[in-house]
A and B are shown apart, each in its own frame.
Chain A
Amino acid sequence: MPEALEPLVRIRDLAVDFDGDAGLVHAVRGVSFDLHAGRTLAVVGESGSGKSVTANAMLRLLPKRGRIVNGSILFRDPEGGGTIDIAGLDAASEKMRQLRGARIAMIFQEPMTSLSPLHTVGDQVTEALRIHDAVPMAEAQKRAMAVFERVGFRDPKRMLDTYPFELSGGMRQRAMIAMALICRPALLIADEPTTALDVTTQAQILALIKELQAETQMAVLLITHDLGVVANMADDVVVMYRGQVMERGGLADIFRRPEHPYLKALMKAVPHFDMKQDERLTPLREIRIDAAAAAAAAHCGREPIQHGRTVLAVTGVTKTFTLRSGGLLGEPQQVSALSNVNLTLRAGETLGLVGESGSGKTTLSKVIMRAMAPNCGQVCFDDGGGPRDVFKLKGPDLKDFRRAVQFVFQDPFSSLDPRMTVYDILAEPLRIHRVGNEDQRFQRVKDLLELVGLDQRSMRRYPHSFSGGQRQRIGLARALALNPAVILCDEPTSALDVSVQAQILNLLKDLQKALGLSYLFVSHNLAVVDYMANDIAVMCRGVIVEQAPRETLFRSPKHPYTQALLAAVPSPDLDHPLDFARLTRGGFSNPADWPEPFRIVPGETRPEMAEVEPEHFLALARPCAPAHPEPMRAAS
């Protein structure tokens, strides 16, 4: 029994302080836990909970302003050498340096920035080996190739000379894992290793970590905020909040009988597929929207569009991009970003758009915004006065359209100008569209802040003094300023913590009800889309593969891609573990690998939507008519 053995790492009363600009910050306060060989410990917490600081302290990689002020990190190397107190070592000492990479390795969240773009993968992976063991280059490369093969690279020899930017996100993370494992460490620290990846890729990386752990008996410290990942990966769980351990224990104990109110609250804040029709998430802090403010906002200007009427109709939109090709004489390459996309958004409802990176979600929202023209197809907008083609709008009509369709961005940090006060940010759309005088604008900004649950005193402050969730609310208020009919939400909560996510999602729902808004909700998170949307469309490689009402789509998915996506979502429910064996096969997102009748081969077959059940559409492959070869298909 592993429990009977002495732990690999024993952390006791660890405390880390930071010299912040605003004084001393106690980032970690008296944290204690044990890590055992061959087991995975998940550290769960929101941003600022001290989970990453704890991990960095274990490698003594704290930033200059941080220091360990108390406690011990006892590391007992299974390969001998006795027990070392890492907290007592000098961070710059030779002894610490020999532990890093060799005995304790780390992988990070963002696989692109964790690897240097200027050096080959082979160089960076063999380096870890050559620092710690004086092996000749040829030997190091041989061992690197063995690790490459193990982490799933088909051509290990080629990887030696490949640069990180030639790889996809998942492949880069595999390269990171290869780099971490080449020295056969006793402990792998994985800091949000899959947060930046698509769900199907995430499942594959998680499966890989699990397999490698079983082979090498290393301990894994998994830092994550995703309870679904925890449920599928961890043996033991530590829940952190504000630098302290709230709860710790075995996975089953923690998940089936959460004791601490924080963990209970966190579990209620995560959307999951078993939610009932009108079940509401419970954020840690709920924002109630003020009925008076909502009424005031609703009265300002526009008449609400009759519920259920089509406000936005996308028909047959196709968009191809021409890539500047290499060489001097090479043919320019055509890449199809959207092919024959049809969507309908009804007033007062939410259309969810799901897809992995590169599926064309963002391109589609740009086309709808008229920020980009499609090659063919139509986008019709109807604000009550009959449908009109968005790309034919001119002058005042176009201006009206711009007012009626607004955008909420993914990143609340870069989407607000840091040099403008909240008042300037919220009043700017009014000023641009010459709405009201200065007094009326002031009143409007006040109403808007109230609407999103922000204090009126925020008006004179700058964005940097707000948290991510508050900034997203400011972004939402800005989108509401002109009384839009439609809001395009592009991953509005993917940069936020789960508890804040629940808050924003609920706010969006409440505002929809109060103001009769229609949302096009773009996200890669299926559970979130499921929570928000009435209708859901699934996109893959520019094709809408399946579209159906929410109740149907995720309960009885028909398309193999939708099924694969759903199977890859880690559920926080212990009774629904991921089927790793199935997920590691891969190939879900390649239309040419789909089974008949879904298989789409460029040049031979093209997708066509068929209504298999009432309101349930599926993309089935139809042979391309040879008389009218689509130019983009032929080229791609």
Chain B
Amino acid sequence: MRMILYILRRSVTMILTLLAISALVFIVIKLPPGDFLSNQIAELRSQGDPSAVAKAEFLRTQYGLDRPVWEQYLIWIGAWPGPNGFSGLLQGDWGWSFEFQRPVNDVVGGALGLTLLVNIAVVIFVHVVAIPIALYSATRQYSWGDYAATLLGYLGLATPNFLLALILLFYLNRWFGISIGGMMDPRFDQEPMSMAKLQSIGSHLIAPVIVIGLGGTAAMIRRMRANLLDELQKQYTITARAKGMKPVPALVKYPFRMALNPFVADIGNLLPHLISGSVLVSLVLSLPTVGPVLLQALKQQDQFLAGFILMFVAVLTVVGMLLSDLLLAAIDPRIRFGRRRG
């Protein structure tokens, strides 16, 4: 009951937050003078193509770009009747991409799923690789293994990931003759989902996941190691050993559990960070994720497309935050009880 109330209350704040973010997003997109269509119209005028100009003018009215900015915003989120009545984000209409001349839904629909897929794979990769290395490194501080992990960690932090992507792209092709660009073999592009297609996606995932995840893995190893070293000094770790626990269970049950908290609190930040951080890699590896699309849309002032992608990232962040708060409460009784006891 308490939990449900808590989630309800959080949901209300989430909605308010998203509303505030949507306003900010719109203002930022609108900050540069003009918009996609007015730029296009100016260009067409200079070429003297009256029919194209007329079409663009028609689109301007069609999408309400001739109205004041605040009205445009309200139409966009669906709180104001536009030329087609109430039709905005709230109603599930994500708008029109001027650049691609298709509804935003069509442009990014597929990419969203793949973006999520890549990023969730990256998150899993980061944790699965970083945690064991950090555990090893912390328990054997100043050993050769620790130094090796530290060196690799610094290399991972220092290497720009798009560079690594280029190198991998080149050498994997040269030595093994495999192409890692794209999300799948081009022949599956238009085909429905099948085992073979799934396998192709899986094999194409490996390189981008490693490339995108490397920096995060290195950072997580460093932070996890530092946290663990702190916790290993704590009295309860010694208590566990004084009880006669075996080293590995004693490590995982006590210090590791304690060291995990900051990372769980970070989950909310992870996804948006990965999306904005992986744009370059996606470009280099020609991955059809939303990153490159966002970049393009921002450059071209393709306002509905850019706005939608930014909102998508915001939703991920806010939901991620809620998830990490709930997870924290689940794994840490002090947080769970703290609310009750004040």
Q: Which of chain A's residues have a CB closer than 8 A to the CB of B5?
A: 328
Q: Is the CB–CB distance between A59 and B236 below 8 Å?
A: no
User: Which of B241, B253, B331 contacts A61 (CB under 8 A)?
Assistant: B241
Q: Considering the chains assembled together, what is the distance between the CA atoms of A332 and B341 in angstroms?
A: 11
Residue B337 CB within 8 A of the other chain = yes
Q: Is the CB–CB distance between B254 and A102 below 8 Å?
A: no
A110-B235, A113-B236 given; A118·B333 CB < 8 A:
yes
Q: Is the CB–CB distance between B340 and A132 below 8 Å?
A: no
Q: Considering the chains assembled together, what is the distance between the CA atoms of A105 and B127 in angstroms?
A: 36
Q: Which of chain B's residues have a CB closer than 8 A to the CB of A328?
A: 2, 5-6, 9
Q: Is the CB–CB distance between A99 and B258 below 8 Å?
A: no
User: Which of A92, A102, A106, A324 contacts B342 (CB under 8 A)?
Assistant: A324
Q: Which of chain A's residues have a CB closer than 8 A to the CB of B244?
A: 97-102, 128, 131-132
Q: Which of chain A's residues have a CB closer than 8 A to the CB of B342?
A: 323-326, 332-333
Residue B242 CB within 8 A of the other chain = yes
Enumerate A36-78 residues with CB–CB distance to B below 8 Å. 59, 61
Residue B45 CB within 8 A of the other chain = no
Query: CB-CB contacts of B1-31 with A at 8 A, as 1s and 0s?
Result: 0100110010000000000000000000000
Residue B339 CB within 8 A of the other chain = yes
Q: Is the CB–CB distance between A128 and B235 below 8 Å?
A: no
Q: Which of chain A's residues have a CB closer than 8 A to the CB of B339?
A: 326
Q: Considering the chains assembled together, what is the distance between the CA atoms of A115 and B244 in angstroms?
A: 15
User: Which of A101, A118, A333 contacts B257 (CB under 8 A)?
Assistant: A118
Query: CB-CB contacts of A104-126 with B at 8 A, as 1s and 0s?
Result: 01101010011111111000000
User: Which of A114, A131, A325 contacts B239 (CB under 8 A)?
Assistant: A114
Query: CB-CB contacts of A326-364 with B at 8 A, as 1s and 0s?
Result: 111000110000000000000000000000000000000
Q: Considering the chains assembled together, what is the distance between the CA atoms of A116 and B254 in angstroms?
A: 7
User: Which of B239, B241, B340 contacts A326 (CB under 8 A)?
Assistant: B340
Residue B155 CB within 8 A of the other chain = no
A116-B254, A118-B257 given; A108·B241 CB < 8 A:
no
Query: CB-CB contacts of A309-328 with B at 8 A, as 1s and 0s?
Result: 00000000000000111111
Q: Considering the chains assembled together, what is the distance between the CA atoms of A96 and B342 in angstroms?
A: 44
User: In the complex, which residue of chain A has the Cβ closest to the Cβ of B242?
Assistant: A106
Q: Considering the chains assembled together, what is the distance between the CA atoms of A223 and B331 in angstroms?
A: 36
A114-B235, A116-B236 given; A100·B2 CB < 8 A:
no
Query: CB-CB contacts of B229-270 with A at 8 A, as 1s and 0s?
Result: 000001110111111111100000110011000000000000
Residue A449 CB within 8 A of the other chain = no
Q: Considering the chains assembled together, what is the distance between the CA atoms of A564 and B339 in angstroms?
A: 36
Q: Which of chain A's residues have a CB closer than 8 A to the CB of B337?
A: 163, 165-166
Q: Considering the chains assembled together, what is the distance between the CA atoms of A154 and B234 in angstroms?
A: 30
A121 to B: closest C-beta gap in Å? 11
Residue A127 CB within 8 A of the other chain = yes
Residue B334 CB within 8 A of the other chain = yes
Residue B325 CB within 8 A of the other chain = no
Q: Which of chain A's residues have a CB closer than 8 A to the CB of B253?
A: 116, 119
Enumerate B96-153 residues with CB–CB distance to A below 8 Å. none
User: Which of A92, A101, A113, A327 contacts B242 (CB under 8 A)?
Assistant: A101
B256 to A: closest C-beta gap in Å? 10
Enumerate A426-442 residues with CB–CB distance to B below 8 Å. none
User: In the complex, which residue of chain B has the Cβ closest to the Cβ of A131?
Assistant: B244
User: In the complex, which residue of chain B has the Cβ closest to the Cβ of A324?
Assistant: B342
User: In the complex, which residue of chain B has the Cβ closest to the Cβ of A94?
Assistant: B246
Q: Is the CB–CB distance between A113 and B234 below 8 Å?
A: yes
A131 to B: closest C-beta gap in Å? 5
Residue A179 CB within 8 A of the other chain = yes
Q: Is the CB–CB distance between B334 and A327 below 8 Å?
A: no
A163-B333, A166-B337, A326-B342 given; A115·B243 CB < 8 A:
no
Residue B57 CB within 8 A of the other chain = no
Q: Considering the chains assembled together, what is the distance between the CA atoms of A417 and B334 in angstroms?
A: 30
Q: Considering the chains assembled together, what is the distance between the CA atoms of A131 and B242 in angstroms?
A: 12
Q: Considering the chains assembled together, what is the distance between the CA atoms of A332 and B236 in angstroms?
A: 34
Q: Which of chain B's residues have a CB closer than 8 A to the CB of A131?
A: 243-246
Q: Is the CB–CB distance between A179 and B243 below 8 Å?
A: yes
Q: Is the CB–CB distance between A108 and B238 below 8 Å?
A: yes
Q: Considering the chains assembled together, what is the distance between the CA atoms of A326 and B2 in angstroms?
A: 10
User: Which of B2, B6, B332 contacts A118 (CB under 8 A)?
Assistant: B332
Q: Is the CB–CB distance between A326 and B236 below 8 Å?
A: no
User: In the complex, which residue of chain A has the Cβ closest to the Cβ of B260?
Assistant: A118
Q: Which of chain A's residues have a CB closer than 8 A to the CB of B243?
A: 100-101, 105, 127-128, 131, 179
Q: Considering the chains assembled together, what is the distance between the CA atoms of A327 and B239 in angstroms?
A: 34
Query: CB-CB contacts of A166-205 with B at 8 A, as 1s and 0s?
Result: 1000000000100100000000000000000000000000
Question: In the complex, which of the residues B253, B340, B342 has the most CB atoms of chain A within 10 Å of its own CB atom?
Answer: B342
Q: Which of chain B's residues have a CB closer than 8 A to the CB of A115?
A: 236, 239
Q: Considering the chains assembled together, what is the distance between the CA atoms of A105 and B245 in angstroms?
A: 12
Q: Considering the chains assembled together, what is the distance between the CA atoms of A132 and B246 in angstroms?
A: 11
Q: Which of chain A's residues have a CB closer than 8 A to the CB of B340?
A: 326-327
Query: CB-CB contacts of A129-153 with B at 8 A, as 1s and 0s?
Result: 0011000000000000000000000
User: In the complex, which residue of chain B has the Cβ closest to the Cβ of A56?
Assistant: B238
A370 to B: closest C-beta gap in Å? 27
Enumerate A363-401 residues with CB–CB distance to B below 8 Å. none
A326-B340, A327-B2 given; A61·B236 CB < 8 A:
no
User: In the complex, which residue of chain A has the Cβ closest to the Cβ of B9?
Assistant: A328
Enumerate A2-28 residues with CB–CB distance to B below 8 Å. none
User: In the complex, which residue of chain B has the Cβ closest to the Cβ of A98?
Assistant: B244
Q: Considering the chains assembled together, what is the distance between the CA atoms of A165 and B340 in angstroms?
A: 13
Q: Considering the chains assembled together, what is the distance between the CA atoms of A333 and B246 in angstroms?
A: 44
Query: CB-CB contacts of B311-342 with A at 8 A, as 1s and 0s?
Result: 00000000000000000000111100101111
Q: Considering the chains assembled together, what is the distance between the CA atoms of A117 and B238 in angstroms?
A: 14
A245 to B: closest C-beta gap in Å? 24
Q: Considering the chains assembled together, what is the distance between the CA atoms of A609 and B109 in angstroms?
A: 77
Q: Considering the chains assembled together, what is the distance between the CA atoms of A92 and B140 in angstroms?
A: 14
A416 to B: closest C-beta gap in Å? 22
Q: Which of chain A's residues have a CB closer than 8 A to the CB of B236?
A: 113-116
A170 to B: closest C-beta gap in Å? 17
User: In the complex, which residue of chain A has the Cβ closest to the Cβ of B246?
Assistant: A97
Q: Considering the chains assembled together, what is the distance between the CA atoms of A98 and B337 in angstroms?
A: 35
Q: Considering the chains assembled together, what is the distance between the CA atoms of A116 and B253 in angstroms?
A: 10
Q: Is the CB–CB distance between B235 and A100 below 8 Å?
A: no
Q: Considering the chains assembled together, what is the distance between the CA atoms of A102 and B2 in angstroms?
A: 42
Q: Which of chain A's residues have a CB closer than 8 A to the CB of B332?
A: 118
User: Which of A59, A101, A118, A163 contacts B258 (CB under 8 A)?
Assistant: A118
Q: Which of chain B's residues have a CB closer than 8 A to the CB of A327?
A: 2, 340
User: In the complex, which residue of chain B has the Cβ closest to the Cβ of A189?
Assistant: B242
A371 to B: closest C-beta gap in Å? 22
Q: Is the CB–CB distance between A163 and B334 below 8 Å?
A: yes
Q: Considering the chains assembled together, what is the distance between the CA atoms of A417 and B38 in angstroms?
A: 61
Q: Considering the chains assembled together, what is the distance between the CA atoms of A324 and B338 in angstroms?
A: 10
A538 to B: closest C-beta gap in Å? 29
Q: Considering the chains assembled together, what is the distance between the CA atoms of A332 and B9 in angstroms?
A: 19
Q: Which 3 A-B pairs have the closest CB atoms?
A: A326-B340, A101-B244, A100-B244
A-B contact pairs, 15 of them (CB 8 A): A61-B238, A61-B241, A101-B242, A105-B242, A105-B243, A113-B234, A114-B238, A115-B236, A116-B239, A116-B254, A118-B257, A118-B258, A118-B333, A118-B334, A328-B9
Q: Which residues of A are in contact with B by a Cβ distance under 8 Å? A: 59, 61, 92, 97-102, 105-106, 108, 110, 113-120, 127-128, 131-132, 163, 165-166, 176, 179, 323-328, 332-333
